[in-house]
Amino acid sequence: MAVDEKLQTIRHSCAHVMAEAVLNLFPGTKIAIGPAIDNGFYYDFDFPTDTKLTETDFAAVEKEMRKIIAGNHDFVRKEVSKEEALKLFADQQYKIELINDLPDDAIITTYEQDGYIDLCRGPHVSNTKEINAQSFKLDKIAGAYWRGDSNRPMLTRVYALCFAKPNDLKDYLKMLEEAEKRDHRKLGIEMDLFHLDPEDPGQIFWHPNGWTIYTTIQDYMRQMVRRDGYLEVNTPAIMPRSLWERSGHWGHYQKNMFITESEKRLFAIKPMNCPGALEIFKSRQRSYKDLPLRLAEFGHDVRNEPSGTLHGIMRVRGFVQDDAHIICTEEQVASEVAKFCKLLKKVYHDFGFDDLVVKFSTMPEDHVGDLETWERAEKALADACHEAGLEYEIQPGEGAFYGPKLEFKLYDCLGREWQCGTIQADFQLPSAERLDATYIGSDNQKHHPVMLHRAILGSIERFLGILIENFAGAFPTWLAFEQVAVVPVSSEFDDYAKLVYETLIQADIRANAYLDDSNMKAKIKQISQEHKTPYILVVGQKEKDENSVCVRYRFSSGKQQETMKLDEFVKYVETKNLEKGTTI
């Protein structure tokens, strides 16, 4: 058994122990489901009306769990009929519902430890002694609708952390502590980057500091795609129902779309940009000589995400994608995907990410198009991966409804995984059954192209959130909203500070001059803590006389500060602005 599988088995077994402990402490509780998840497990409970579990009860539950584990109880697997299962769980309504969903002739498995019986496919460890009593910790409580349906009862979901060894748990808790310090929502307020209004959920109000970083990222991506052969376009924010019906989004994505009406016609605010790109392609007759056509768009999309799933700027309703659609022949798919992968690696490197994992998502149950077309699309994408020298992991059934896709996951400085980039091979949208896009081939006949949907950063909002947490707000020079802070030693030198500031601004260096009445040390402390500015220039009589600046460095490079001529410093920062892939 692989290490990860063994750990997941330990976690799932520990979930059963937690459920037993909860039932021991809170009689009459109804149990629902308790799967293993990344870093631990959860279990959903329906407590009696006069009972409420809170985080203050965690210590008691953990104590009871350790008592159960110390009993060295075997996990006993048993196969039962549906009829037997219904009798076993007669007083557990959620288990009864799950059992009733199974075929009448189904063989159902249960697991028992210490007299506690649960409905479960397993596997489990053989004995509770295989669960280290110091390697788990109850983490948090959340609400969860039964089976994800907002019309069903709200259950209490108890999350727990669980690892094979105590040191693994300690390391993870340290990482969580560090992640809390880096939380983009906290730093976003402290650094005056953005705010979120509870009356307008999922929408971001960007402040000047945050918007400066945002547009710096956007300008960088605009330059990169232009150099890689893309043409930038822009498509309408609102498009008619008829277009969304033909594209398939109305039937497969409508629940996530904001709908509006005008002059007795229905429209949708666009949740994605692909139909608009094809409309541009179709605006005139195309030839095979025009392909591949690479259309890039910073498309502002809006999706009706449930309010409970929103999270800072990581999961929002309104966002901009660094989107692009490559319209090409089937024969060009492999080379275009390989070309895209090269660009993606370069971009990620420039932002400081070099470790990648590639996931290959195949046809989902809810899809459009026939099996043969899907097989061709999946083969084209697989061939492209081989050509690009990429290894990938299969994610069965996780593709978009219109085509298979590659997902690119990067790792931040805390080892957390983030899914950002994607490329999807779409044989459906350009087809005659959908938006009917055609080009004239070398045989002088009409053919339907393939559309590759691709993004590197994904949502710029989410990617910026990742960057905030990765750098803990201390952005490298080229990304910092304030690259240089000019601080006079006293108000006597405000005029020279203004001269330095103007020189920096004229050189396109993002700078501020701090000329308020607070003392120099207080200014430097504020700049360092709130803005995390890479360079602080302290100027006084000596600097004024020599047309120089005393440079204080934010980063550690063997020197804390030095004096240099103003024009030297300007050239130094200009060089740093060209250096990507660094943390300074």
User: Any idea which residues carry the catalytic annotation?
Assistant: 274, 303, 321, 323, 325, 405, 453
List beta partners, residue 195.
205
Say which residue the tokens 């593709």 belong to: 399
- Other C-beta atoms within 10 Å of 290: how many? 14
Contact call for residues 242 and 210 (beta carbons, < 8 A): no
Q: How far apart are CA 237 and CA 453, in angstroms?
A: 18
Determine contact, residues 380/425, Cβ cutoff 8 Å: yes
Tell me the C-alpha distance between 347 and 350, whole Å: 5
Beta pairing partners, 279: none
Q: Which amino acid, one-letter code, is at 279?
A: E
Q: Are 100 and 147 in contact, with CB atoms under 8 Å apart?
A: no
Give the DSSP letter of residue 15.
Answer: H
CB 421 within 8 A of CB 321: no
Measure CA 58 to chain center. 30
* DSSP H helical ranges for 438-548: 460-471, 494-506, 520-526, 541-546
Given a contact cutoff of 8 angstroms between Cβ atoms, the answer to whether 523 and 470 are in contact is no
Residue-wise burial string across 208-231, b where 16 or more C-beta atoms lie within 10 A, e elsewhere: ebbbbbbebbbebbbebbeebebe
Distance CA 485, CA 528 (A): 10
C-alpha closest to that of 304 among 260, 263, 274, 266: 260
Residue 72: left if φ>0, alpha if ψ -120 to 50, beta else—which one? Answer: left
Give the C-alpha separation, 288 to 283, whole Å.
15
Helices (H), 204-281: 208-227, 241-247, 249-252, 274-281
Spatial distance between the Cα atoms of 361 and 355, rounded to a whole number of angstroms: 20
Residue 355, Cβ density class (10 Å: 0-12 exposed, 13-18 middle, ≥19 buried): exposed
Contact 404/422 with Cβ under 8 angstroms? no
∠456-461-398 over CA atoms, to 5°? 50
| Nearest one of 468, 464, 412 to 190, comparing CA atoms | 468
CB burial of 99-110 (b: ≥16 within 10 Å; e: otherwise) equals: beeeeeeeebbb
Q: Which residues touch 226 (CB under 8 Å, ≥6 apart)?
A: 232
